[in-house]
Structure 1
């Protein structure tokens, strides 16, 4: 005796399968904001609750309630909106993005403002846009004697291309915040025949006093390209 599946049962299973697929799609959509790119709004030194209330991207936190250190990451690719009435700026979408809290207050942000390793033209565009935002908001490059500001020049491209050396630059907002910006070649297994680059930002309160370090460093064995004569990283701003 052979069993048969009636057309009615087939339609029921088809409906159930369709409902399951729609539920999965809806679940993913709920993880995204209703409009615009997902944003994590961070106020340095501000509480977790501020970030939660002003962000449009869901956030996965660990160690909440801890009296010491906690942290978390966005659940989706998200922009950083660095909130400050004078020094605020915004990054492109980021996939690597972590926020560290000390006693529930934002202490450190580490991120790569991109969703994949970039070709050098695209990486330079991101770096130059960030530096332009910082210039416009009153940030200033610091430690330039040892860490000259990254520029889109043939010398900088040649310096980074072998994949051995990294571009480091430090920017500071008054006596409040400091950013370490790194641009380095990254071997991307998906594009083994291409030169891809990774940008890294480490943002926190001003932690490094370059004035106190002058004269203590030995000359770099392979110094990065110096800025061109007469060039200034923030030409539209007074020095």
Structure 2
């Protein structure tokens, strides 16, 4: 092997090593922050192609749901009403017989949270919605969450919890629910579960 050939071989090995490192780094970035990025009403396959989290295909001709194969955040990619959640362990994406996404139900957390952390999550989501033009509805019965003594007392009551509804024009609705949860891993602590449902409007303002 000539000197020129040896130099070319070494350059090729170096290029392959660099490519491997870059690929590894890209995989780490995606795996550290996987997300499901979607729109209500879009083809399910469009969501799969856009998302960095892995999720199985829709079942042709069936109304059902799929679950991401890892913890993942939701990125709702509507150009006007978009928002992003924390990572979720419970996360379902529903689809109709037509193969289009018809709803999301998730818990934007990876474990039951303490009350301060729970309020931080729900208040951040509500602030994102306000800034994007979402409007709270049914506020007489179910006002938006707030960090007040009254709200804290209500959430601590295992028989009450809280619910808030929001509309994005006539296009979308979210329901945000918080309840006490008995976490056997932390038996002496007050822990909470958050549930978020997203779909086209199913209640009147």
TM-score if structure 2 supplies the norm length? 0.83
User: Counterpart of 1:43?
Assistant: 39
Equivalent residue in structure 2 for 1:60, among 56, 59, 66: 56
Whether the 8 Å CA contact 1:70–1:101 is kept in 2: the answer is: yes
User: Counterpart of 1:166?
Assistant: 161
Equivalent residue in structure 2 for 1:179, among 155, 164, 174: 174
Kindly report which structure 2 residues correspond to 1:9-48, keeping only aligned pairs within 5 A, or say none. Answer: 34=30, 36-48=32-44
Kindly report which structure 2 residues correspond to 1:128-147, keeping only aligned pairs within 5 A, or say none. Answer: 128-147=123-142
Aligned to 2:126, the other structure's residue is in SS state helix
- Who wins on radius of gyration, i.e. which is larger? 1
User: Counterpart of 1:188?
Assistant: 183
User: Counterpart of 1:97?
Assistant: 91
TM-score if structure 1 supplies the norm length? 0.72
Unmatched runs of 5 consecutive residues or more in structure 2: 1-24
Unmatched runs of 5 consecutive residues or more in structure 1: 1-28, 211-239
Q: What is the CA–CA distance in structure 2 between the aligned matches of 1:180 and 1:67, rounded to whole Å?
A: 28
Alpha-carbon deviation of 1:83?
Answer: 1.2
Alpha-carbon deviation of 1:65?
Answer: 4.0
Aligned to 1:41, the other structure's residue is in SS state strand
Deviates more, 1:129-138 or 1:155-164: 155-164
Equivalent residue in structure 2 for 1:69, among 54, 63, 70: 63
Going from structure 1 to structure 2, the CA distance change for 1:201 and 1:34 (only over 3 Å counts) comes to closer
Going from structure 1 to structure 2, the CA distance change for 1:156 and 1:171 (only over 3 Å counts) comes to same
Moved >6 Å (runs of 4+) = 29-32
CA deviations over 1:75-114 (Å, ceiling 9, x no partner): 0000000110100000000000001101210001000000
User: Counterpart of 1:19?
Assistant: none
Alpha-carbon deviation of 1:31?
Answer: 8.4
Q: What is the CA–CA distance in structure 2 between the aligned matches of 1:36 and 1:87, rounded to whole Å?
A: 26
Equivalent residue in structure 1 for 2:115, among 120, 128, 139: 120
Matched residues, number: 180
Considering fraction of residues, name the structure with more helix: 2
Alpha-carbon deviation of 1:66?
Answer: 2.6
Whether the 8 Å CA contact 1:70–1:104 is kept in 2: the answer is: no
Q: What is the CA–CA distance in structure 1 between the aligned matches of 2:148 and 2:108, rounded to whole Å?
A: 21
Q: What is the CA–CA distance in structure 1 between the aligned matches of 2:41 and 2:192, rounded to whole Å?
A: 31
RMSD between aligned residues: 1.8
Are 1:88 and 2:82 an aligned pair? Answer: yes
Q: What is the CA–CA distance in structure 2 between the aligned matches of 1:120 and 1:54, rounded to whole Å?
A: 34
